[in-house]
Amino acid sequence: RERDMATNLKELKSLLKKLDIICQEAEGEVLVLDVRTERYQNRDGEKILTLALRPKNFHLFTFYPLLQTDAHHDALIHACLVIQSKAKMVRFVFDAKTSELRCEVRFSLKGAKLTKNQLHRCISGMVESVDRFYPVIQRAAQEEVVAFEGVE
């Protein structure tokens, strides 16, 4: 059991390997991983969500912005707030300076170790939330409409 828990970069890499998730180390004690999606398409048109994982204070976030837009910020922020009420673990963060929207999961382990199941839940929860709600976010940013039709 002890081997299925992590707090540092090396231990997180081991857990990701057990989950059959390939990762790469990036600058600043960060692991970068690509996860397949069903609906979300990245800026290259691939159904892949690139995530970054920082072990300090457990922070999982989208490596690239989900969206970058200069229009309809109010509708976009409104959509994200509604989504956050539906997807409890996931937060959407909009940076008004760069007009970038990212998704994140963050929590303090307070000296505890992260389990393989917790890590899997965080990654799958983020991917499922982005997949499920990206059409809502996109429509809010493009058309200034916040609508959840077709989102199960």
pLDDT tens profile 27-40: 888 999 999 999 99
Q: What percent of the chain has pLDDT over 70?
A: 95
Q: What is the mean pLDDT of residues 62-91?
A: 91
CA angle 45, 89, 4 (to 5 degrees): 90
* Segments of 37-143 assigned E as strands: 48-54, 59-62, 67-68, 91-95, 100-106, 114-115
CA angle 25, 29, 34 (to 5 degrees): 40
CA distances from 90 to 59, 70, 75, 87 (A): 11, 23, 19, 6
Confidence band for 6, pLDDT divided at 50, 70 and 90: low
Give residue 7's pLDDT.
74
Record the pTM: 0.88
Q: Residues 6 or more apart from 94 whose CB is under 8 A from it?
A: 73, 76, 77, 80, 100, 101
CA–CA distance, 68 with 1 (Å, rounded to integer): 42
CA–CA distance, 53 with 88 (Å, rounded to integer): 19
CA–CA distance, 115 with 12 (Å, rounded to integer): 9
Give residue 31's pLDDT.
94
16's tokens: 């990701």
Confidence band for 58, pLDDT divided at 50, 70 and 90: confident
